Structure 1
Amino acid sequence: MTATSDKTRVLTGITTTGTPHLGNYVGAIKPAIAASQDPTVQSYYFLADLHALIKSHDPKRVHQSRLEIAATWLALGLDTDNAIFYRQSDIPEIPELTWMLSCVCAKGLMNRAHAYKAAVADNETAGQSDLDKGVTMGLFGYPVLMAADILMFNAQRVPVGRDQIQHIEMARDMAGRFNHLFKGQYFTLPNAVVDERVEVLGGLDGRKMSKSYDNTIPLFVSEKKLLKLVRKIKTNSLEPGEPKDPDTCTLFQIYAAFATEQETAEMRRDYENGIGWGVAKDRVFEYLNTQLREPRERYQALLEDPGHIEDVLRQGADRARAEAAPFMDQLRQAAGLGRFV
């Protein structure tokens, strides 16, 4: 591998099927950007646009989402001098490795994948005679593509949610199988990293903030829209002057995710002293708006200069391929697909 091999290799894929919201920022983007600035870590961050095709066949949506997400991460301070930031689709070695791994991966392993089992269960519940109705090979085999993403750069640590641990275990299985069949230590076995401290923000209706629930607050909406959304956050019917419980309040949770410890403690006292919901919502809006104003301006400037984003991603792809291309040559040789001379 390259000179970065003395660093811990950490890899994160970024889904490109929607607009980033506050929950994405707190749960994934903020800790990832902090890691990108750590000189002891070689971070790989990629726009998972090949994965996006599994869920979306709307080219305009996929294209716009890639642009918005790249602009978001750059606007929020991703260190692209240290981290390698690229589009998955710009690394042709990844789909090639996906095929190689498919040829050593047991179908039975894919039968146990959560997404596939959920699709089959939905068909069964709906009374479908064909339990694979609507299941594409992309959905069925996407853990193999995910394994290729990880193994191409021999990532040692892969930050994931609990629902993704299975896929890291599958990647380990495929890596071990390839190493065994072709008699070499080609792949490092990756480890899932689940940070229990990562906060899951509530949305407008109190449920987990998720595009699936249509209850999100997009990161870079206008001030006017942000105020409107904050005022829509569900609260209880307690009157001003009545003590309120911050620990069960989505509004407080969102504030605390952005505020300092001292600011959070002050807000907690105001809850105990019976702050009115209107006052609390205005304060949360003002705080969020102040925190997001400069990144929002950078984000808008980036969207207006897609050529700059393209240059950043191409430079990242060049750095990624500088590792992927020679490694792929080594893997081809191992599998008997090397050149004759």
Structure 2
Amino acid sequence: MTQKQRVLTGITTTGTPHLGNYVGAIRPAIEASRNPDMEAFYFLADYHALIKCHEPARVAASRMEVAATWLALGLDTDNAVFYRQSDIPEIPELTWILSCVAAKGLLNRAHAYKAAVQVNEEEKAKDPDKGITMGLFSYPVLMAADILMFNAHKVPVGRDQVQHIEMARDIGGRFNHLFGQTFVLPEAIVDEKTAVLSGIDGRKMSKSYDNTIPLFLPEKKLRKTIMKIKTNSLEPSEPKDPATCTLFEIYNAFATQDDVRSVRERYAEGIGWGDMKILLFDYLNAILEEPRERYAELMADPAKVEKILLEGAEKARSIAGPFLAEIRKKTGLLPFS
């Protein structure tokens, strides 16, 4: 019998999910969760959140919002394993074990660490490591533990995250060399077709730019936010280029091919920006109406979400516990009798 391929994705809990998160990560992951030929692992990366967010209320709110979002959009928790990172104590233990084989020189090359050092050097700080925590420095090891704990074959990531999968391979390979074959070495999956959406100001939609369109805004707020999207000064009836338009970019990420073709023709005819904004709002609102209702129901029933996550954690620990016992044995951490 052929072993199912395991795919694993983590969602950092530092903000409210937005349209860019949906088309870039949530939608393809939910589709994968329904694939019976695949074992899908999805987790709330709440330990990772602590690296860059020291606001307890924000982390707590984001954990709930992210969980409710994935469930409202149809994550198949019967087929997929959905859990909080912090509910799996085997992960931080494996992180320490992997830290003991991970080369510091490897971590020195991590993009996030190098970028933080570069900022300090540009600001002529006396200490190039000023303000850099061990969490930031060593989080590639935590990420490796997330992946290697479940022997994930494939890890869907953005191009900026490929290095972390390569580091997980290096760390897992080093452990295998020292203690015998233990870990599957993961493969980064980068879907070049995955949409990266622009925000209301035309830059990449990102919490750090404060330019996002939250996924489940109430209807009136969604309309108001879409009306704020930046456009150029072309008048109605003037032909417009959809390739340079945030409104079209967002529409294209959600609409059918036939609808996209129709709107592309309206751009050539010179659709007015106000009309296009209303068209986009109506289209998105129709798609999001039902999941928005489910989201509201879940947000009002945290006990239900908690139950689902704890059931997911139980499934995850049924794999992680025996595997960690094997790892302990290989490293000499054995009981005396």
What TM bracket, shorter-length normalisation? Answer: over 0.9
Deviation at 1:338, TM superposition (A): 1.7
Q: 1:268 aligns to what? A: 264
Q: 1:121 aligns to what? A: 118
Is 2:52 the partner of 1:55?
Answer: yes
Aligned partner (choices 198, 208, 215) of residue 211 of structure 2: 215
Deviation at 1:247, TM superposition (A): 1.1
Aligned partner (choices 186, 189, 214) of residue 185 of structure 2: 189
Aligned partner (choices 238, 255, 265) of residue 242 of structure 1: 238
For 1:51 and 1:243, the matched residues in 2 are separated by 46
Is 2:172 the partner of 1:157?
Answer: no
Aligned partner (choices 302, 326, 329) of residue 333 of structure 1: 329
Percent same amino acid among aligned pairs? Answer: 69
For 1:263 and 1:149, the matched residues in 2 are separated by 40
For 1:109 and 1:27, the matched residues in 2 are separated by 28
Question: SS of the residue aligned with 2:222?
Answer: helix
Code of the residue aligned with 1:164 in structure 2: it is Q
Aligned partner (choices 64, 76, 91) of residue 67 of structure 1: 64
Question: SS of the residue aligned with 2:11?
Answer: strand
Deviation at 1:185, TM superposition (A): 1.2
Deviation at 1:340, TM superposition (A): 2.2
Alignment of 1:1-341 (within 5 A): 6-182=3-179, 184-341=180-337
Q: CA RMSD in A?
A: 0.9
**Stretches (4+) displaced over 2 A:** none
Question: SS of the residue aligned with 1:166?
Answer: helix
TM-score (norm 2): 0.99
Between 247-256 and 66-75, the greater mean CA deviation after superposition: 247-256
Question: SS of the residue aligned with 1:168?
Answer: helix
Q: Deviations over 1:302-327 (max 9, x none)?
A: 00000000000000000000000000
* Structure 2 portions without partners, runs of 5+: none
Code of the residue aligned with 1:137 in structure 2: it is M
Code of the residue aligned with 2:88 in structure 1: it is I
Q: Deviations over 1:65-114 (max 9, x none)?
A: 00000000000000000000000000000000000000001111111111
Code of the residue aligned with 1:272 in structure 2: it is A
* Structure 1 portions without partners, runs of 5+: none
For 1:151 and 1:68, the matched residues in 2 are separated by 27
Deviation at 1:256, TM superposition (A): 1.0
For 1:254 and 1:101, the matched residues in 2 are separated by 41
Q: Deviations over 1:246-278 (max 9, x none)?
A: 111100111111110001111111111111111
TM-score (norm 1): 0.98
For 1:108 and 1:256, the matched residues in 2 are separated by 43
